[in-house]
Amino acid sequence: MSRTGLIAKKLGMTSMFNEQGKRLTLTLLKIDSCQVISSRTEERDGYNAVIVGAENSKPSRVKKPLRSWFAGLNIESKSQIKEFRVSKDNLLESGAELKPSYFSKNQYIDVIGTSKGKGFAGVMKRHNFGGLEATHGVSVVHRSHGSTGQCQDPGRVFKGKRMAGHLGNDRVTIQNLQVIEIDDEKGLLIISGNVPGHNGSVVYVRDAIKKTSSVSA
């Protein structure tokens, strides 16, 4: 049964060695004032969902419609809001606080975020092309993509052809990351592996949809 997810902020990365001597790459996520704001029900809205807010904000920095919405719910204004689809059994009451212990140690989670934007990139960086030869008549264009199409038939470049272009700044989901440590006092969720985005970026954390078993780190 699907549960709601949490809103977190990527603090940075570090590493540690486990009991078997294996080096683990870790990402630190900060869960700050994460709270259930409202919910949607199938009877009223046609689907079940939980609306979660995080990071308390001054009312003056929130848009006026949201300001009155928060005031009516008697909840402090939030700078981040996200809606998570849930099953009917996992609807939560407005005002419920969500801490890192919402997840359990060693369970698997998925993290959704926006990757770093890297601007315009060539095919070697964007698609891992090998480039052209360093000699045998190749001059100046060593990092180019080479031929892109055909001559007479069909005489055009097919859609989806891998070429140079915008790299990064995409919505990315990293699946099956394992929770290593939980600290409710500091609001920290320490997970194995890397997550998309730069330090300070907002990510969404949810239960893994493909892997449910927990394995000791």
pLDDT tens, position by position, 79-136: 999 999 999 999 999 999 999 999 999 999 999 999 999 999 999 999 999 999 999 9
- Domain boundaries for CATH 2.40.30.10 within the chain: 6-118+171-207
pLDDT digits (tens, 9 = 90+) for 170-205: 999 999 999 999 999 999 999 999 999 999 999 999
What the block records as the tokens of 157 is 């470049």
Distance from the Cα of residue 121 to its chain's centroid = 23
- What is the rounded CA–CA span in Å between residue 191 and residue 212? 15
What pLDDT, on the 0 to 100 scale, is given for residue 213?
Answer: 52
What pLDDT, on the 0 to 100 scale, is given for residue 1?
Answer: 63
What the block records as the tokens of 212 is 């449910």
Which of the pair, 201 or 72, is modelled with greater confidence?
Answer: 201
What pLDDT, on the 0 to 100 scale, is given for residue 155?
Answer: 87
Domain 6-118+171-207, CATH? 2.40.30.10
- What is the rounded CA–CA span in Å between residue 115 and residue 90? 30
Judged by DSSP in three states, 67 sits in: helix
Report the chain's terminal Cα–Cα distance, integer Å: 25
What pLDDT, on the 0 to 100 scale, is given for residue 217?
Answer: 38
Q: Is the pLDDT of residue 214 over 90?
A: no
What the block records as the tokens of 215 is 């394995």
- What is the rounded CA–CA span in Å between residue 83 and residue 112? 13
Scored b (16 or more CB within 10 A) or e, 47-67 reads: ebbbbbbbbebeeeebeeebb
